[in-house]
Structure 1
């Protein structure tokens, strides 16, 4: 029985493959025509009688192959793989996805179906980086059924599967798992927001009425658990053994609320959230005032972040509330914010490296502007009451209601003249 042929064995080879690049790289590889012809359509054509050949070096045939410098090593690897039985036993020869992609590209050019199949099997079974996936997508179009395993990983998921994973992820993201799972929950929240965000690509999921209803139900259950926690915190003394755990859970709820606001704002369904927040606002402030724990400052910071988003929805008409509720929100949160800002500022001043207490200055400015907008939309008598309290408060610098004060003064001065045309002068005189 004849010994198996070995690439590079000059004593038995009958053809030389001469690899050349435009950069002058030139390498002669001693091969065997029976292997090249059997396993490569390119070499089968080049070594056929219909293709003119050049006889060199002891009458051996020579096939010149020109390639790019970046593909030179891949050509060598393909020639070596032609000598390997491709039956699934070469999984350790690819040396990573990047190398396998290069081999696949050359195998396609040289018409080596067994190597192409082996490359596809390998690539389908291993993880890719994004850049590698893009390279794969440049290569596989037009290869037909043999690349279906790879395409199966890239095909869009059917809508029902997307809905299923969205709802499952939503329920987990708005649950209250143990603190050890916080990173997992944060990741789930990020992916939910990503799924409904329109960027360079269309959203993965268009939220219909059913999806929005599911989200509202989850928010409702979240507020129910939060309200139960508030009741517990208000009923138990702050020195109780379980207080620290409840405060940690309290902060977790606030983080969930902050994220939920972003999702609900994108989907334009903030109404239920705002109304629920209005209902628990008094309890939240009482909890903040009753605790003496230093860690409460973190909770206060989270409260401010959520309050800013809720008041923004109210102040700019995203959610329409009755006058009484809007006035209530100002009376509850204006004092809280004006006391909390100096507290956080003092911590940052004393410890400039304390990143956990740093808050975007634009948030404070936005919150101030929102208060002005809400106040100016209240009845003038309520505005007067709020402004009077503001001017006599030691924290007059923030929120700065100067703009609201100036507008109130102007409106009050011109009110009689403006409203006299409506025949309401008598009523106006009695109310001002």
Structure 2
């Protein structure tokens, strides 16, 4: 943006600013204060007549209205700068163009803008201005060049109108308007307008595109003005993880419609941009759920008997229900981890559960759980199957020690479940068979000496008909083939 005077003083040289467009001319004013369009203006470029006269402030009323030639002492020409121009002359006749707009303003009103206040200071314009013979007023003639990056003439006209009114809210009533006006207000150092635009943007929602425009203007605001705008889009480092933690906890513990909430959070996790953050959150949630299940079964398996029998029974029921509820949450978390390929930590944790699996075996040998939480074994074994199957499939690359412990600690739990489930449901039989096959596949990845002891425990997989357990037959045949292998001399 470039401004200059055309009066008795020496001309001011303005910096070069480029532009890519020209608009049609508006070269005369109407008696009601609105700007009239030249009759030669092409219909496709006719300027909108939405620039109606704004209510005047007391200062504007004393000076005269916007674009009032009878009382004005400033003639301001707005024009688009040409990219090819190295500078803009102060001679208004030198750059007469169809896109020029000439308006009549008042210096005392323009001084509300610090930019114009500096322009009209005695130091800059001691001898500027031309005495008008008809009104005996000193008239200042200024040129305001507008670059392609500083907005349109329409936006500049609107900001100049706002100098004549205190009623910003009637004109700045949308994010688009505020974003169009704010750059001009910043250039003209119109502080009241800047403050209103900022307060308006603070208080209303933005679209994604509007948010980008807001952020592009933040560097031109001071710290106090930009604080609230940045607070909306500049989170703390751990804000996203804290949000995910809260969503997961709400979905699995507190939400009344848990199924829908879990499905929605699962989608958020799939779409979340940072796998590292999602992994940290899921690992933490899994660890907490596992801790609750372990503690509940530990208290159930080794109760501290206090009070009467009924009180003890009630506590035991509560322990089993707590284990069952958090076991389901844990199963959902395992599904999310495997879906996202983030279950390696969970596998390590699950493979290192000597005391937990021992408590489970003690609890499942007791008949009390059958009438209280009959689905508990299936929930625990589904967690085991999903993690073990990911290991066997190579989705999770687990170290030999992890694979060894996974089978060593959880194979006895599977055996106890089979022994204490009579009669077994078809779905449970299917789960047990799948877990058997998965354990045998993992055993096949272990050294012969490690696999030997584990395979001996797998005899419980056998049935009356050998044809019903081909997975067990294959596993033993593989082991014996390897155990009887005689290396060739060159090996």
| TM-score, L = length of structure 2 | 0.50
Cα distance in 2 for partners of 1:74, 1:341 equals 72
Superposition RMSD on alpha carbons, in Å? 6.5
Kindly report which structure 2 residues correspond to 1:352-431, keeping only aligned pairs within 5 A, or say none.
372-377=441-446, 379-380=451-452, 383=455, 389=462, 392=466, 405=474, 409=477, 411-417=479-485
Deviation, 1:342, is: 12
For the Cα contact (< 8 Å) 2:80–2:99, is it kept in 1?
yes
Cα distance in 1 for partners of 2:218, 2:263 equals 36
Corresponding residue for residue 219 of structure 1: 290
For the Cα contact (< 8 Å) 2:443–2:455, is it kept in 1?
no
Listed one character per residue, the Cα deviations across residues 261-298 of structure 1 (whole Å, up to 9, x for unaligned) are 629956935555566786798899xxxxx99xxxx9xx
Corresponding residue for residue 180 of structure 1: 257
Cα distance in 2 for partners of 1:393, 1:74 equals 85
- Partner SS state of residue 83, structure 1: coil
Cα distance in 2 for partners of 1:312, 1:280 equals 25
1:28 aligns with 2:101: yes
- Partner SS state of residue 76, structure 2: strand
The structure whose Rg is larger is: 2
Higher relative contact order (CA 8 A, sep 6+): 2
Q: 2:246 aligns with which of 157, 164, 169?
A: 169
Q: Greater shift after overlay, 64-73 or 258-267?
A: 258-267
Kindly report which structure 2 residues correspond to 1:233-382, keeping only aligned pairs within 5 A, or say none.
254=328, 257-259=331-333, 262=337, 265=342, 268=345, 270-273=347-350, 307-309=385-387, 311-312=389-390, 316-317=397-398, 319=402, 322=405, 323-328=407-412, 372-377=441-446, 379-380=451-452
Corresponding residue for residue 227 of structure 2: 149
Deviation, 1:185, is: 6.5
Aligned in 2, Cα 1:146/1:369: closer, same or farther, shift over 3 Å?
same
Corresponding residue for residue 351 of structure 1: none
Q: 2:173 aligns with which of 83, 95, 102?
A: 95
Deviation, 1:325, is: 2.5
Listed one character per residue, the Cα deviations across residues 218-240 of structure 1 (whole Å, up to 9, x for unaligned) are 43225667999xxxxxxxxxxxx
1:67 aligns with 2:67: no
Cα distance in 2 for partners of 1:174, 1:303 equals 23
| TM-score, L = length of structure 1 | 0.55
- Partner SS state of residue 128, structure 1: coil
Deviation, 1:308, is: 1.5
Aligned in 2, Cα 1:156/1:170: closer, same or farther, shift over 3 Å?
closer
Deviation, 1:330, is: 6.7
Corresponding residue for residue 124 of structure 1: 202
Richer in helix (by share): 1
Aligned in 2, Cα 1:373/1:218: closer, same or farther, shift over 3 Å?
closer
Aligned in 2, Cα 1:328/1:267: closer, same or farther, shift over 3 Å?
closer
Aligned in 2, Cα 1:104/1:222: closer, same or farther, shift over 3 Å?
farther
Listed one character per residue, the Cα deviations across residues 107-146 of structure 1 (whole Å, up to 9, x for unaligned) are 2233322222222222223333444333323222253334
Aligned in 2, Cα 1:115/1:308: closer, same or farther, shift over 3 Å?
same
Aligned in 2, Cα 1:124/1:371: closer, same or farther, shift over 3 Å?
farther
- Partner SS state of residue 219, structure 2: coil
For the Cα contact (< 8 Å) 1:162–1:205, is it kept in 2?
no
Aligned length: 364
Cα distance in 1 for partners of 2:180, 2:287 equals 50
- Partner SS state of residue 179, structure 1: coil
Q: In structure 2, list runs of 5 or more residues that go unmatched.
A: 1-57, 84-96, 300-320, 365-369
Corresponding residue for residue 139 of structure 1: 217
